[in-house]
Structure 1
């Protein structure tokens, strides 16, 4: 050990002993936090990735022993410190993306809707406690990475987290923990976790499935087999939720993944049709359709969605510009639904959620943001074809497809899924453009 390292260790030990003997452990941890700042600044995007994983997969809720550590809040703080430092020191390297503008326009209108909300306290609590944090993290995720190789690590981390959540889902199913409607599995329902809704749980598992469905066709044989095994586990987890929105998302991922590799549409249609039958039988969802067909009526779950969508339209008609306000659909359901069964219901649709809570203007802004994001994803799909970044672009494209299909039946308009995809697409576009420009400069210089 060099003399310099010995001096540093001795100094650190002396200061630590002084703080422990004269102050509380809070001061000591604050001291350690100051010492960790260089690591935070240098590894800000790595911390940002873990923030994505904890926020999206709700790892601290799936594993309750992590809850006291407040890991998402610590990671969010670290990301913002790193982003602030990078903006201060390297502001010339950051380029504003057109999607940032559309995101801010939508966020501005969501904020306006909170001002005119039927329950302002509820709206502003959701705005400050969740939505504005999501918007802020979109900028962190899209601006912090400095090289495309940082983004290529994300799919494998998604595999691990998806496998973990799917395994817990199957464990709960086997031991009948947190079941709703007798058979539908959840995670953390007892303490109000987002994964406590089987529909939301299925959507969480759809995101990693979008990438495993891609990596089955890329890489070495071992990595393909691993991707296939993880895909089967994810499919089993989604089937255990018995979510029809989740099943539609799976169908769209399967079909689009096959379509990307087929020269005709017939083969993907046949394979997808066979997959649908197997999936519905495994999930037990066919019982709902059989019951519906035999009675000639729509089942209770489907009718609940129709009533909720009708209530959403009535809210928008009554408040055409700003809607009833962020997170106010549930509380207003009684006043606008044509059917009352003694309790309020969620809207069960991202599009009707935006319409009801932010009015027609909010829906138009969100639709423009979504279409622009799709256009960017499609351009990346074409631009990065036959490059080392092709699996990443295909995974993001399938993620957008699955969100749009399943989001029609799941309430995810102002929560993490779409905005994580948005930020990763912006980052991918920014970094691959830089690579193309540098490559073009090298070619010009060589000629």
Structure 2
């Protein structure tokens, strides 16, 4: 077919789709998917990564002009179609790892906790609307990439997304938009965005920090310089949220990176301790209306967490096997908290969230999964010491450690960060082992 005929066919197809949309409305989506199917199949991994970025960074909520386009929904449909087709084509080459089994077992237990939840409607709403997507995407990330070059693009996309959200956070801070307690920055609070909570915003910004720390020491001068600028924007924007969990996550990342670059343990401890104190001063936590220096003794913010953690433990004691159910902590706070101030509170701790919502058994399964991820990540760090993928291995290791520390103050047990890291760890382990096995056979 000549180029002229191809252009004529493309224009005719576009006109037909427009006319159908003009007459039938959303029917155009179905036709559009049929025309885009070849792209979806060939670029399934990129579409999957796009869905994860929009879902985690809430790009469409940060920039509301994108909301009418329904990009996350379209990417979700395309991801599922591409994933199903690719898995069918690659079914003979799919490898199952121990960490996959641990994820499946924990997910089954989360499902059981939903069945036994005190509020099944809320539990299944979260499971069907959020957690099952995260579960599926772990397998998509671990199985879809066929080349290491595909994994290389992920840190760059995460850093770019973090730069967009961090830059917007600083803009809001400078212009006094959506501030909580007069000083803590948020994004999209007026439209009910997840980023409207300063702790959740800090969690979103913290995720790309580990990759920024790692890639600041790799690549040419321009790459290192750009990464350092992005890292600075991320740190300053996290400081603007005045989140203690965010500060702990940054400090942990700095400590772990310094430990990797230094043979001494004392130097990293001193360096990270000084860095944490400096971050606390720069963040202005003492100026917060809750948890600030104006409050005597144990501040209101700290006491709120203590009460929430006590409530979580009480929930686990009352329901030791399955807890109160996924996303049910908030709705059960009144019944299990030793202190009632007229409103329910969030748990503000990954560990307490898991123990409250999935019970002691759920916590054991969650820890086994996390330990399994740490084990594989550490093996990658050692095995890829002189490999081109060393920066990614370092970023994954720093990210997992940062998750463990920041999880003390941030609720991220059933949200994206940990599971994205697990998916990347599994993919990097699979691809690098496959290459090593090929080289070994050739030699």
Counterparts of 2:164 and 2:205, CA distance in 1: 10
- 8 Å CA contact 1:134–1:415 kept in 2: the answer is yes
What is residue 214 of structure 1 aligned with on the other side?
214
What is residue 7 of structure 1 aligned with on the other side?
5
Change (3 A) 1:226 1:362: same
- 8 Å CA contact 1:316–1:359 kept in 2: the answer is yes
3-state secondary structure, aligned to 1:412: coil
What is residue 269 of structure 1 aligned with on the other side?
269
Counterparts of 2:325 and 2:232, CA distance in 1: 40
Query: Deviations 1:293-335 (Å, cap 9, x if unpaired)?
Result: 8976110000000000000010111111111111111011001
After TM superposition, give the deviation of residue 47 of structure 1 in Å: 0.9
What is residue 133 of structure 1 aligned with on the other side?
133
- 8 Å CA contact 2:147–2:431 kept in 1: the answer is yes
What is residue 233 of structure 1 aligned with on the other side?
233
Counterparts of 2:176 and 2:120, CA distance in 1: 39
- 8 Å CA contact 1:80–1:140 kept in 2: the answer is no
What is residue 420 of structure 1 aligned with on the other side?
420
Matches within 5 A, 1:154-193: 154-193=154-193
Task: Compute the RMSD of aligned alpha carbons.
Answer: 1.9
What is residue 144 of structure 2 aligned with on the other side?
144
Counterparts of 1:300 and 1:37, CA distance in 2: 54
After TM superposition, give the deviation of residue 267 of structure 1 in Å: 2.2
After TM superposition, give the deviation of residue 10 of structure 1 in Å: 2.8
What is residue 380 of structure 2 aligned with on the other side?
380
Q: Does 1:256 align with 2:282?
A: no
Q: Does 1:56 align with 2:56?
A: yes
- 8 Å CA contact 1:252–1:402 kept in 2: the answer is yes
- 8 Å CA contact 2:351–2:413 kept in 1: the answer is yes
After TM superposition, give the deviation of residue 383 of structure 1 in Å: 0.8
TM-score (norm: length of structure 1): 0.95
3-state secondary structure, aligned to 2:207: helix
In structure 2, the gaps of 5 or more residues are none
Query: Deviations 1:372-403 (Å, cap 9, x if unpaired)?
Result: 01111111111111110000000011110111
TM-score (norm: length of structure 2): 0.95
Change (3 A) 1:220 1:116: same
Q: What is the number of residues matched between the two proteins?
A: 441
What is residue 405 of structure 1 aligned with on the other side?
405
3-state secondary structure, aligned to 1:153: helix
After TM superposition, give the deviation of residue 367 of structure 1 in Å: 0.8
Counterparts of 2:119 and 2:17, CA distance in 1: 47
Counterparts of 2:382 and 2:216, CA distance in 1: 20
